[in-house]
Amino acid sequence: MISSKNYTFYIASTPGKMRKLIVPAYVLHGLAALAIIGSITVLAAVGSYSRMLLKVGNYNAVRQERDVWKKQVRELQSTVKDTNQRLDAVQSLATDVAMTFGVMKYHPAAFEQTDAPSSPEEVFDRSVEQFTFLKRNAAVIAVSAEGLRMMPSMAFADSNYTPSIWPVLGHITDGFGERLDPFSGEGAFHTGVDVGADYGAPVYATADGIVQDAGQHTGYGRVVIVDHGFGITTWYAHLSAYAVVPGTRIKRGEVIGYTGISGRTTGPHVHYEVRVNNAPVNPWRYMRSNPAGD
C-alpha cells in the first residue's frame, strides 16, 4: 500500500506473522539520489584512474625512448670526438712532413704592405731586410708563380721568419699530441706545448713577423698570434697582459706579452703553438735556443 507521503512495506518474518514497515517518501528519494551520486562518483574515479594509468604508461615509454636517444647521442659524440682527434693528428703529421721537405707557399711577412708613414732610415732598413730575405730564399722566389715548390731545408731553417727560440724562459709542463685533459680527465689532442714560468715573466716572439691578433680567445684566454709568412703563425696563450697590438712588425726575441693564467689553465704558463696553414705542428722541433741566448 502506497500513500502520498509514506511507503508502507509488509514483511513476512515467520509463517503467519506479518510486520509492517512505514518509510517516508523523502527518505527513499534521498537514498535513491545518494545511490545515483555514488554511482557517478565511482564511475568518474574509475575513468580518472584509467586515464592516469594510460598517462603513466606513455610517460614511461617516452622516458625509455629518451634514455635510448641520450645513450646514442653520447656514443655519437664520443665517435665524433675520437674522429676529430685522429683527424687533427693526421693533419698535424701531414703538415709536419710538408715542413720537413720544405713545401711552403711564398708569402713572406717581410713584404707586407703598410699605410703607416716611414722615415728614410726605416725605408732603407726594410729594403736591406727584403734584399737579405730574397738572397737567402732565391730558389723559392725564382719560381713563385708556380705557387708551391720545394724550398731548401737549410735556407728555410736559417730564415729569420722561422720560429727557433723558446717563447719564455721556463720548463716544459705538457707536450704536443694526445694527453688527458686536466679539466675533463678525458683523452684530448694538445695542439701545442706548455712552458711553465713565473707569473708576469716576459714572453718573446720566436721569429720575425707581424702581430695578427692580440685578444681574447675561448679556452686560450689572452693570446697573441704572430704571422711569419709562408703560412706560418705562432700562438702565445694564457697571457696576463699584452706588449703589442695587431699590425705591429716585430723581430725575433722582442717581448710581445707576459705570462699569466687567463683562459683554461691550472697555473701560470705559456701555451705555445706553431701552425702551418692553420694546422698545428709540433713546436718542439723549432725550440732550439732560449731568448737570452739568441
Closest among 239, 294, 273 to 95, alpha carbons compared: 273
Residues 142 and 232 in one domain: yes
Residue 181 pLDDT:
72
pLDDT greater than 50 at residue 128:
yes
How many independent structural domains does the chain possess? Answer: 2
pLDDT greater than 70 at residue 119:
no
Q: Is residue 90 part of a domain?
A: no
Residues 178 and 70 in one domain: no
Whole-angstrom distance, CA of residue 286 vs CA of residue 89: 18
pLDDT greater than 60 at residue 33:
yes
Give the pLDDT band (50/70/90) at residue 106: very low
Residue of 100 and 157 predicted with greater confidence = 157
Residue of 271 and 293 predicted with greater confidence = 271
Residue 220 pLDDT:
92
Q: What is the mean pLDDT of residues 258-266?
A: 90
pLDDT greater than 60 at residue 99:
no
Residue of 6 and 267 predicted with greater confidence = 267
- What percent of the chain shows pLDDT beyond 90? 28
Residues 134 and 6 in one domain: no
CB-based contact 247:211 (threshold 8 Å): yes
Whole-angstrom distance, CA of residue 217 vs CA of residue 219: 6
Residues 19 and 158 in one domain: no
Report in angstroms the alpha-carbon separations of 141 from 22, 30, 145, 148, 174: 126, 111, 8, 11, 38
pLDDT greater than 60 at residue 201:
yes
Give the pLDDT band (50/70/90) at residue 144: very low
Residues 151 and 271 in one domain: yes
Q: Which of 25, 60, 78 is the last residue of a domain?
A: 78
List the grid coordinates of 216: 681574447
Q: Is residue 162 part of a domain?
A: yes
Q: Is residue 96 part of a domain?
A: no
For 241-263, the DSSP string reads: EES--TT-EE-TT-EEEEEB--S
Q: Is residue 86 part of a domain?
A: no
Residues 61 and 126 in one domain: no
Q: Is residue 251 part of a domain?
A: yes
Residue 157: its H or E element: helix 153-158
Q: What is the mean pLDDT of residues 187-211?
A: 91
Whole-angstrom distance, CA of residue 237 vs CA of residue 220: 5
Residues 203 and 279 in one domain: yes
Whole-angstrom distance, CA of residue 239 vs CA of residue 109: 24
Residues 127 and 11 in one domain: no
For 27-86, the DSSP string reads: HHHHHHHHHHHHHHHHHHHHHHHHHHHHHHHHHHHHHHHHHHHHHHHHHHHHHHHHHHHH
Q: Is residue 104 part of a domain?
A: no
Give the pLDDT band (50/70/90) at residue 41: confident
Give strand pairing partners of 194: 174, 271
289 secondary structure, DSSP code = B
List the grid coordinates of 293: 741566448
Top mean-pLDDT range of 77-81, 196-200, 274-278: 196-200
Residues 234 and 118 in one domain: yes
Residues 31 and 120 in one domain: no
Computed from CA positions of residues 84, 89, 90, 95, in that sequence, does the dihedral angle turn out positive or negative? positive
CATH of the domain at 173: 2.70.70.10
Closest among 87, 112, 92 to 230, alpha carbons compared: 112
CA dihedral in degrees (235, 236, 242, 248; nearest 10)? Answer: -30
Whole-angstrom distance, CA of residue 238 vs CA of residue 270: 6
Cα angle 153-157-161, degrees, rounded to a multiple of 5: 125
Residues 177 and 130 in one domain: yes
Q: Which of 31, 59, 78 is the last residue of a domain?
A: 78
Residues 35 and 160 in one domain: no
Residue 152 pLDDT:
46
Enclosing domain of residue 9: 1-78
